[in-house]
Structure 1
Amino acid sequence: MLLAEGVHAVITDRRGGVSPAPFGGRNLGGAVGDDPGNVAANRRMTALEVGVDPSRVVLMRQVHGREVAYVDRPFGDDPPGLDAIFTAEEGLALVSLAADCAQVLVADPVARLVGAAHSGRPGTLAGVVPALVEAMAGRGGDPGRMVALVGPAACGRCYEVPAEMREEVAAVVPEAWATTSHGTPSVDLRAAISAQLSRAGVGDVRHDARCTIESGDLYSYRREGQTGRFGAYIWLG
């Protein structure tokens, strides 16, 4: 899809790929127990299918924090622990991986900046998405021009947590307070991240509103335990 003029975005699913069960197809995660050869084949296949150079794909070692880095090339075999990256390099595809956490893609089409974040419950608490917007603004981006896409995630109807955990998250982002479809405490990551983006000045917030726990086309750690990871890609081109 075109997220904005000259900004491409793709969210993969588990269909296709070469990974056997329990990863079941297009697993892009390298730290989930899948054979590294299968992961490499899936990553190369996916890059070619979406139209980017496989050697120009940047993946993070996601650690559920708020660290953000500007990148101008892939990290190689030993990426640093990060949960958000951004770039102004044409054709450099940034990737966030997930299996219940939210992937957030951000673009300023005028400043020619794109970013990708991984925001689960800890990252949302830490404010990784506002940190990405702030870092992009520090390189000439304008939050008022930015477009954001919040990808699939565990929804508030399904993301059950202990009551104390719901209170902890909602104390930082009140919009996270939710209740599951069967009446137990939950966290609404999508509502929380949307509120964070709004408070950061990003007015154009879009959604792939699928719930990972409900959708069999997507990987879900909550639903499956050992499983793969799908990817959200963004690049200038």
Structure 2
Amino acid sequence: MTLEILTSDMLSSVRHGFFSRRGGASSGIFAGLNCGYGSSDQTEAVAINRNRVAEAMEVTPDAMIGVHQVHSPIVLSVDGPINGEKPKADAVVTSTPGLALTILTADCQPVLFADPDAQVIGAAHAGWKGALDGVLEATLDAMEALGASRKNTIAVIGPTISQTAYEVGPEFLDDFVADSPDNLRFFANGTGDRLQFDLPAFGLHRLRQAGIGQAEWTRHCTYSDPVRFYSYRRATHAKEADYGRLISAIKL
């Protein structure tokens, strides 16, 4: 099966892709294009999958730049391959051609950024905690440090968990209301005291509030489409031992 690569017309000036799980070498619960070495999948299968992504992005495997994601607002600026242990961060930016910035997700938001005029790109992992703590704004700041203008910057949120699938408790709401009472609008009533949180709408709100030029969500829900996407929450509900990781990438 060939790779399935979701793209956005808004980012057509740069090579990019939100890769689905289709077209990979992994099997079992990881069946497909699992790109996460942090999973319990066979290392050889993950390596094959990542090599396929590198080929699709037209880079060598060592030019695929990723970080040790920790749900933080930390952004790493790079100008070449990372040697040795990956730094802890949740976003990467560069103005160096030939590097493919990558993010791994399995419900959290993968966000790809580009200022085509300044030739600066970024990639961010924005779960609820990272988004609330400012990883999206920090990515824009780091891109500006490389010469980008946020008014000319485009951001696209890829496959992520949608509001109908994202049930949370009242204590979750408290963190968002403490940040801003306006954040109430990203929650809908669920069953009992449960609430439904709209993560991509919150991500778009933070991007637009930060003054970004253009932003959109591809409108793909990871939880509700098991054929195409991995989902941490779906795997948890199914009592599966582990879950695959989707990869998203962007390159100048």
- Name the TM-score, length of structure 1 as normaliser: 0.93
Q: Of 157, 162, 175, which residue of structure 2 is paired with 1:150? A: 157
Q: Which residue of 1 aligns with 2:246?
A: 230
Q: Which residue of 1 aligns with 2:231?
A: 220
2:73–2:133 CA contact under 8 A, matched in 1: yes
Shift in Å, 1:5? 5.8
Shift in Å, 1:107? 0.6
Kindly tell me the number of residue pairs found equivalent between the two proteins: 236
1:160–1:187 CA contact under 8 A, matched in 2: yes
Q: Of 90, 96, 109, which residue of structure 2 is paired with 1:83? A: 90
Take 1:211 and 1:180, find their aligned partners in 2: how far apart are those partners? 19
Is 2:56 aligned against 1:46?
A: no
Partner SS for 2:205: helix
Shift in Å, 1:132? 0.4
Matching residue's letter, 1:234: I
180-189 vs 227-236, which moves further = 180-189
2:15–2:57 CA contact under 8 A, matched in 1: no
Aligned sequence identity (%)? 35
Partner SS for 1:114: strand
Partner SS for 1:118: strand
Shift in Å, 1:123? 0.5
Shift in Å, 1:103? 0.6
Partner SS for 1:48: helix
1:156–1:187 CA contact under 8 A, matched in 2: yes
- Name the TM-score, length of structure 2 as normaliser: 0.88
Task: List structure 1 segments (4+ residues) > 4 angstroms apart after TM superposition.
Answer: 180-183
Q: Of 20, 26, 29, which residue of structure 2 is paired with 1:19? A: 26
Take 1:76 and 1:13, find their aligned partners in 2: how far apart are those partners? 27
Take 1:83 and 1:170, find their aligned partners in 2: how far apart are those partners? 24
Shift in Å, 1:187? 1.9
Shift in Å, 1:177? 2.6
List gaps (5 residues or longer) in structure 2. Answer: 1-6, 237-241
Is 2:197 aligned against 1:187?
A: yes
Partner SS for 1:125: helix
Partner SS for 1:179: strand
Partner SS for 2:93: strand
Is 2:79 aligned against 1:72?
A: yes
Q: Which residue of 1 aligns with 2:186?
A: 177
List gaps (5 residues or longer) in structure 1. Answer: none
1:61–1:83 CA contact under 8 A, matched in 2: yes
Matching residue's letter, 1:197: L
Take 1:53 and 1:84, find their aligned partners in 2: how far apart are those partners? 21
Shift in Å, 1:25? 1.2
78-87 vs 175-184, which moves further = 175-184
Q: Deviations over 1:156-177 (max 9, x none)?
A: 1111111110231243251663
1:159–1:180 CA contact under 8 A, matched in 2: no
Take 1:138 and 1:175, find their aligned partners in 2: how far apart are those partners? 33
Shift in Å, 1:179? 2.3
What's the RMSD between the two structures over aligned residues?
Answer: 1.8
